[in-house]
Amino acid sequence: MKTILVVDDEKMILRLASEALKDGFKVLTALNGKQAIQILNSSTVDLVLTDLKMPVMDGYELLSYISRNYHNIPAIVMTGFGSPEIARQLKQKGVLHYIEKPFEINALREMINDVFAADKGTLRGFTLSNFLQAVEVEQKTITLRIRSKRRVGYLHLENGDLIDAETENVQGEKAAIEILGWDDPEIEMQGIRKKKRTIESSLMNILLEASRVKDEREDKDVQEDLLEEGVALAEGHHLQQAQQKLAAFLKKNPRNARAWLWYSRAVMNMKTIEGSVANAAKLAPVDVEIDEEVKKALAAKKTIKSNQIRKCPFCWAPMDLKAAQCHYCKCHLMLHQNFFKSPREGKKDVLEKAVERYTRVISRDKNVNAYYFLSIAHINMENWEEALNMFHKTVKLVPNRKVISNQLRLLLDYMARRDESEKAYSPPQDQEAQDDGYSQYEKEGESQKKKILVVEDSSTTRKVISITLGQIGYDIVEARDGLEALGRLNDGKPNLILLDIILPKMDGYKILEIIKKNNDFKNIPVIMLTSRDGFMSKMKGRMSGATAYLTKPFDPKKLVDTIERYI
């Protein structure tokens, strides 16, 4: 028994259709396209009978979904607003049958039977050209409905001759050539339709032309793919591989300005860069991006003093290998000792484009370069929390690369002290000693994997603490206020609690009092963390049972030392 899914937001229509079709068919119903999709994904459906105007998801959206995911399921549209325009739109979606409301049940049943009868004539796995040649030999008069992916077209043959073709807004010989170039076509034989002859060429000539056009299109697609692969590799700083792809593309397409532009960005030789940019400028003299690239090359000739060069990860300008700041876009290229005292001169538009580019790259793969440069872009824009997130992800990808982990620690230290003025900020001078200290904690943390509950209402401070302690191997549980902290305690007993005093809903002293009165939690060390630095506050914390007391803004290394002492 065939299963029909009826989709309409009018319950009366659903009842009428169910009652009329129950003899001979299994009927399922849905009130909108969203419900219909759930049924399609969970049941076997042989035909969809749907209204067009519905809430949540209308019939057009549903038909598009069916075309993409269930293209073997035929559909009939019910509408109260039939018109030639609606018929044209439905034909583009592969729907030939629609019935206007109100309709007679017998007319609907007849249409359903016709659809099922036509579906039996669907052929798959045949080469369309071979099938047409067989039709020509047998001199058949027939209409063929061709479906490939989301496209639908029609070929009309009379006594074996191809007399007309149509697909979307194209008709005649152009439509026939396009349809014959489709991959994996489904061929449906339909009844004879009277059509005027619009095609005068022989079937063999059309087949040969279609084959030629398809070959050219496939070669063009291959070339375009080669260019896009080269650009994607360059964006991810896989420059040697990018050079190879772009050079192969330019060998066949030497007049493509975009390819020359990206080739200039992938190479590290100034003469090659100048030549590539010059070629791009000749081919596209009014292109703003290429004109900017010419200016970068000219500026680089004046500033670069070494044969070894690198590219700015933000604006692609050539520059000295050891440069810490781009001479062209003024962006800082790394987080260094004097960064927080340096002026922010980086061009905003360049940084915004770089953020967009590297976000696109990391959506494709876990590219360490992209994560790192995205971190530095946010640093230049003073988007501190975004920078911290990206740096943390970068370090997780390459935990043993000290040059990056050291920069993360500089950022953590700065963010922990943000309440102080930047003039007062002084980054750690003994970098080697700092590295040794953290390395020791990393080794100890790896073996301990102890849990710390961090109770802090500031998301920035919470993040700084979590990343600082997570870097050295602790399992961090976060809470934004007192009630959430008590809930986290019930979820699992931590080895230590880091507790802010000034919190919403319930202050730290009250939480500490509750913890110390509970037999299960009273022995957990609690380190109070607050911006208050008074003697009375410390005494109140001690009297409530606090193990230790740290004042914000805090030194991350001192925080680690204190935790290591008491955990």
As a whole number, mean pLDDT of residues 139-155 equals 86
| Percentage of the chain exceeding pLDDT 90 | 31
Pairing between strand 97-100 and 170-171? unpaired
Q: Examine the pLDDT at 129 and tell me if it is beyond 50.
A: yes
Q: Model confidence over 441-500: pLDDT tens digits?
A: 344 444 457 899 999 888 888 888 888 888 888 888 888 888 888 888 877 889 999 998
Query: Tokens 């063999």 belong to which residue?
Result: 204
Summarize pLDDT for 408-446 with one digit per residue, the tens: 888 888 887 764 444 344 444 444 334 433 443 344 444
Domain boundaries, given as residue ranges, for the chain: 2-119, 122-201, 219-320, 339-404, 428-566
Indicate if the pLDDT at residue 348 is higher than 90.
Answer: yes
Which pLDDT value is given to residue 90?
72
Which CATH number is associated with domain 219-320? Answer: 1.25.40.10
pLDDT recorded at residue 490: 78
Question: Which residue blocks in 315-383 are alpha helix, DSSP H?
Answer: 348-364, 368-380
Question: Same fold for the domain at 2-119 and the one at 219-320?
Answer: no
pLDDT at 389 over 50: yes
Which residue matches tokens 């931590």? Answer: 494
For residue 420, the model assigns a pLDDT of 40
Q: List, for residues 16-37, the tens digit of each pLDDT value.
A: 888 878 878 888 999 988 999 9
Write out the CATH class of domain 428-566: alpha beta
**Predicted local confidence at residue 443, as pLDDT:** 41
The CATH architecture that domain 339-404 belongs to is Alpha Horseshoe (1.25)
What is the rounded distance in angstroms from the CA atom of residue 349 to the CA atom of residue 387?
18
CA gap 464, 555 in Å, rounded: 11
Q: How many CB atoms lie within 10 A of CB 218?
A: 12
Instruction: Please give the average per-residue pLDDT across 157-163, as a whole number.
Output: 90
Residue with tokens 């935990």: 399
Which residues does residue 156 pair with via DSSP β-bridges, in sequence order?
Answer: 143, 164
Determine the pLDDT at residue 264: 95
DSSP string, 365-394: S--HHHHHHHHHHHHHTT-HHHHHHHHHHH
With a cut of 90, say whether residue 313 has pLDDT above it. yes
Higher per-residue confidence, 321 vs 107: 321
Give, in words, the CATH class of 2-119: alpha beta
Q: How far apart are CA 248 and CA 246, in angstroms?
A: 5
Give the Cα separation of 144 and 186 in Å (integer).
10
Total Cβ atoms within 10 A of residue 274: 17
In this prediction, residue 444 carries a pLDDT of 41
pLDDT value of position 453: 93
Residues 510-530 pLDDT 10s: 888 888 888 888 899 999 887
Tokens of 255: 């007049």
Q: Is the Cα dihedral 293, 297, 299, 305 positive or negative?
A: positive
pTM above 0.85, yes or no: no
Region class of 164: left (phi > 0), else alpha (psi between -120 and 50), else beta? beta
Query: Would you say 485 and 511 are in contact if contact means Cβ atoms under 8 Å apart?
Result: yes
